[in-house]
Structure 1
């Protein structure tokens, strides 16, 4: 049995080139929905956020943010706080004619109101929190928030004042829980992975000596560099754990898993902090860093190999 075949036994592990075309396309679709389209909404709410934001509004901010890849839920939440204290303002109508919990001018809201979000009104209205929050996310995305291109510019377009931008960013910073500091092993794994940016994707690849990495080859090599041995394919890495309970605050070095279910893991990425991860995505691509993707439907869970020890 060749080394390439050996690596593929026991799990898919993002090895799609040798699959029948239909299966390959199915997995490619899963991977496409898993990673690049998700936001930094994985950031856990801080204690302050949980105390300050009504639960139904917090859920809406977190649900709407993935509509804009790379946008943290904390930004629309901070705007909701700055505008109407999350809808607590008694009238929610400004002297300029802005209305509703996110303070939209009717003409501006109309430009970002469609498609009607799940649970929204039909026709949509800026008075409805669901419609308003989704429209706010779309407005931010259209003006620079997508993938963090120019977040300050995006917020400035919401209210044309630098003081407003600073206020929103300060509120948002207080809403996100601080990430745990990475251990020595996690730091080593992240540093190794970041050093591979731009390396080609190669099915079954374990590194530049084989032309590049596939997804689980990259994560295995990263942890090998940190002095921790993990299995070769994505499913086996997921099964090996240690798995984290749902809702656990992510830490740099955590592994993020995607697929059709917990027994059908097809992709793995390494969390690098700040709502971002690094992965070897698919044939024809290179090792990249981008949004973590934990709000995607295909996200299945997280493991923390660094908890086993390794470098200190």
Structure 2
């Protein structure tokens, strides 16, 4: 079974020694390192949907029907494995059935509350918050009553799904769980529960979430040069966003693209504002791997001055370093975003063509 991609895990993982020894665990609020959302028509990398992840007999016997429906609903909505979400609920409070302090009311010794054991500060600074809210945090309104109630199962499970998503799920499940509670033995226990909850005994990841699906993506590139550019970009999955970053440990949206092209000996503009006019414009629907997709996003940007960029890796998918709070570098879908400005092909720029000719002549 594969639970994570070949993504390099970066950051201070030495904190794994901070093991909590209570039954009720407390999620930690910090920026995590998600990796890869895949997709597209690729050989041996068929899409695995939430509907495919059937509950085992043990899951239906152990999980209250209300909770099972919520885990599956919000797992699908947010895009994380419902089995992992349910396993967190089991490990934290036995799906809300625990009578320990902080589950039904109040907080535990660490300040955590509710069926998914959020720290009140992580939730948003209060146990019950009106939605929409001025508070930052994972406070969520899962039952559409206008309130984010830390004790409400629908609200808490939706919030937990968001937290797991931001910090690595569905691809880098172990990292997301480590952020939820900083102890590797906790991660192991949750994964074991999740496997028991899945009818096939597996915790599935999306297609292209591991090295076995990278090769088809790279092999489908329109040229060897593009394949090498994609290989570099895909190897940066899981690294954090850093404004102005050009690696090797962190990148911003244009920085990863700049360095991916540089990795094969090609120089393109460093910033999004420079990359947009540099490449030859490509009609929507005719984009191909290695092309750039631009968005009207960020302060001071507009339809003719896009502020965000990603690199197309396969049909409808791009690799991007989106923002500090959006999670680390990963592959996402660009279809459905209403802020797309257009596509360009840097390899068609005359300067790049000259660079390519010199590279070929030197071989």
Q: Give the TM-score range, shorter chain.
A: 0.3 to 0.5
TM-score by length of 1: 0.45
Higher share of residues assigned helix: 1
TM-score by length of 2: 0.39
Higher relative contact order (CA 8 A, sep 6+): 1
